[in-house]
Amino acid sequence: MRTVRALSAALLTLGLAAAPAAADASPSPSQDSSDAPTRAGTSFRTATEIEQEQRATASGSTGDYLYWSFPADTGQRPTVRATVKLPDTHAAQTWQIDVYDGLRRRQACQYGAQTRTAAANAPSVDLACVLRTVRAWSEPWANDPLPGTYYIRLTATGVPTSDLGLPVDTEVRADSRDIGGSAAVDGSLAEPLVPGIATTSGEAQENAAVLAGLEPEDGWASGWWSDRWVWTAVGGVLAALAGVAGYMLTRGAGRPSRVPPAG
């Protein structure tokens, strides 16, 4: 009977532990397309801000540098995709998408077609860059992705002189996958790497313009919950059950056998 009660308590504990994880796993609603930006910046300082899962479009010219920025938080693995619609007539062109963090450090792509060459007269070219998982903290000498603002730069790297200035239409989108406790580290930044966030403090910061104003929907470091908490709870429950089972076995083995006295 006691074993049954212990098992019931363990299941209840697991249910309570898993509930927040299930809530965090629910997909976030996509941004309203009517509010999507329709232009791009020409430098880091003028980068157009976009939310994650928001489709942004912009018109430009071949040879221009186009910039966007988006927020990425701890535990997320961002994926940036871009599509360039080329003019009807053009020579072969090479396009490239680069991603930089809040310190303007270029972040390497784990995989994806970061650079592609469009054949002559091709209608469009698609690019993608999957970054490493954003860490809560890193050594100063490391180049690990950290929470904060990320910049997208789209440009043509190999364009014949005859194609410079031709009109193009672009489309970009940034999404993230929550990795969870497998990427968790001990430590955290005092502030996310958002340009301008550390230039003022207190009440002055509320009235000061910052270079990047977007943040995750639930605020920075919203991913404090991870499946490490679930596995820690599971380990504790299993250890408790093992202790109860061991106690029951040793208690039963230590009892003297009751043999009726000889007549």
- The predicted pLDDT at position 63 comes to 92
* Residues facing residue 167 across a β-bridge: 61
Tally DSSP H helices, then E strands, for the chain. 3, 11
| Sign of the dihedral defined by the CA atoms of residues 235, 239, 244, 245, in that order | positive
- The predicted pLDDT at position 28 comes to 43
- Backbone conformation region of residue 133, classed left if phi is above 0, alpha if psi is from -120 to 50, else beta: beta
pTM: 0.69
Give the whole-angstrom CA distance, residue 97 versus residue 80. Answer: 9
Q: Where are the alpha helices (DSSP H) in the chain?
A: 2-25, 203-207, 227-254
* Residues facing residue 71 across a β-bridge: 149
Instruction: Write the single-letter amino acid at 121.
Output: N
Note whether 84 and 168 are within 8 A (CB).
yes
Note whether 56 and 48 are within 8 A (CB).
yes
- The predicted pLDDT at position 251 comes to 72
CATH 2.60.120.380 fits 35-216, yes or no: yes
Degrees, nearest 5: CA angle 143-144-148: 110
Of 58, 120, 119, 106, nearest to 83 by C-alpha is: 58
- The predicted pLDDT at position 150 comes to 95
Instruction: Write the single-letter amino acid at 241.
Output: L
Give the Cβ contact number of residue 117 at 10 Å: 13
Where do we find the tokens 């489309």?
Answer: 171
- The predicted pLDDT at position 260 comes to 61
- The predicted pLDDT at position 197 comes to 53
- The predicted pLDDT at position 127 comes to 97
Note whether 60 and 66 are within 8 A (CB).
yes
- The predicted pLDDT at position 192 comes to 81
Give me the tens of pLDDT residue by residue for the chain, a chain 263 residues long: 444 454 444 444 444 444 444 334 334 444 455 678 999 999 999 999 999 999 999 999 999 999 999 999 988 999 999 999 999 999 999 999 999 998 899 999 999 999 999 999 999 999 999 999 998 887 878 888 899 999 999 999 988 899 999 999 999 999 998 876 555 665 667 678 888 654 444 444 444 434 556 777 767 765 455 555 565 666 777 787 888 777 778 876 555 556 566 65
- The predicted pLDDT at position 178 comes to 85
Of 171, 81, 170, nearest to 128 by C-alpha is: 81
